[in-house]
Amino acid sequence: MKLRLSSCLVTIALLGLGPVCGMLYAQDDDPVIDSKPLSHWIKQLQSENRGFQLRAAQALSKAESNHVAKVIPSLMPLLKSERENDRFVAAQTLGNYGSPARAAVPELLPLLKGTQYERNRAAAAKALGQILKDAQPGEEVEKVTAAIVDAWGDKYEDVRRECVFALGMIGTSAKSCIPKLDERLNDAQPVRNAAAWTCGRMGRLAADKADKLISIMQGERYPQVDHFFAAAAVEALGKIGAVHANVVPNIVNRLESIGAGTAFHPQADGAAVRVCYLRGVNALERLGPDAASATSYLQRVISGNPYGDKERSLAIVNALGAIGPGAAEAIPTIQKIADAKPGSQDGSAVALQKAAVAAIEAIKKPASK
């Protein structure tokens, strides 16, 4: 009798827990994201109202990492939707998840074809770059690289730009695109800027692009308008490295011409000139000891009134520190910055003094053998 009673109690208890277990399972299957269940956002993502779609995409992009695995399978079917906006927002949202959305790569590839709207092709290329950012080499990456290279001949500039950026995002695993970057360096402005950036992402693998990037940096190709292209080129040179003896002297020459106001004809606006100059100094910093021949120039620039342009001086001091022992002749000049008592002790002045102290330590450090 007692045994039967116990069995009944267990059965009742299990029956009572049934709805709770079911509720827990349902919540796990339809997680709450930004105060609404996933199913709500997926439905809203397919709304005819563009604003509602955008709101849903924004909410899904905020999904916590433990929910992303549930969201991705719900988004992937939308890549095959007959509606343009569905495909577009799905590609964008998947791209925002980065590598966790790798399962979507095979579904994104067909969107690169010319049968889709151009913004869908651009969104697909961008998403592929985001998902495969810094991916390891492999068959899938090679397939994606080949597909994107095929697509970067698209007649729409935005598509070509996103294709070139995507391969730069993937990085050196997409090295098979390097021989074809020349044609994109001659493309429309946004595309060629992306191509210069992608050359930099390839590092020394893109060494054969150094001479072309030097001529771009010097303004020989687009001297009238493209100061940002010149900035992208010098940044790329810093990442590729001093692959021959002319790289550093050409960067210094460019900095000299910018300082003299002869770099752009007609002269670019002040903000653009500043971007070009600082990118050049940053490139020398990245080149490190290989930029030792730039020491005399860099020292000369900061020997006057280093606190007059603290941002420029900070960049130069950091570059000299990165050069290391090869910048020994600059120590007295840097020491004056470290010892100075500037009229204003704002954050930038303090940062400059700290950088000067650190640079002196780096320069005095014995060179590694």
Q: Which two tokens stand for residue 2?
A: 């007692």
CA 157, 107, 83 angle in degrees (round to 5)? Answer: 70
pLDDT value for 30: 84
The pTM of this model reads 0.85
CB-CB contact of 251 with 273 (8 Å): no
Q: How many alpha carbons lie under 13 Å from residue 114 in its C-beta half-sphere?
A: 7
User: Residue 37's beta-bridge partner residues?
Assistant: 32
Count structural domains, the chain: 1
Q: How many CB atoms lie within 10 A of CB 119?
A: 18
pLDDT at 31: 87
Q: Does residue 348 lie within any of the structural domains? A: no
On whether residue 340 sits in a domain, the answer given is no
Asked whether residue 304 is assigned to any structural domain, the reply reads no
Domain presence at residue 316: no
Residue 246 DSSP code? T
- For residue 272, the model assigns a pLDDT of 77
Is position 138 within any domain? yes
CATH code, domain with 141? 1.25.10.10
Measured over all CA atoms, what is the biggest interatomic distance in the chain, rounded to whole angstroms?
103
Q: What is the pLDDT along the chain (369 residues), one digit of tens a residue?
A: 444 444 444 444 444 444 433 333 345 678 898 888 999 989 988 888 888 988 998 989 888 888 899 999 999 999 999 888 899 999 999 999 999 999 999 999 999 986 678 999 999 999 999 999 999 999 999 999 999 999 999 999 999 999 999 999 999 999 999 999 999 999 999 999 999 999 999 999 999 999 999 999 987 655 444 678 889 999 999 999 999 999 999 999 999 988 776 655 555 567 778 888 999 999 999 999 999 999 999 999 999 888 888 999 999 999 999 999 999 999 999 999 999 876 666 788 899 999 999 999 999 988 665
Residue 296 falls inside a structural domain: no
Alpha helices in the chain (DSSP H): 2-29, 38-45, 50-61, 65-75, 84-97, 105-108, 118-131, 139-151, 157-170, 181-185, 189-201, 210-217, 227-240, 247-260, 270-287, 295-302, 310-323, 331-339, 347-364
Establish if 158 belongs to a structural domain. Answer: yes
Whose tokens are 């771009």? That residue is: 216
Query: Residue 2: its pLDDT value, please?
Result: 45
CA 307 vs. chain centroid, Å, equals: 31
Instruction: Tell me, yes or no, whether 17 lies in a domain.
Output: no
Residues 6+ apart with CB under 8 A from 215: 221
The whole-number pLDDT of residue 25 equals 34
Residue 283: predicted pLDDT: 98
Domain residues for the domain of 110 are 30-173
pLDDT of residue 14: 42
For residue 68, what are the contacts with CB-CB under 8 A and spacing of at least 6?
A: 97, 100, 101
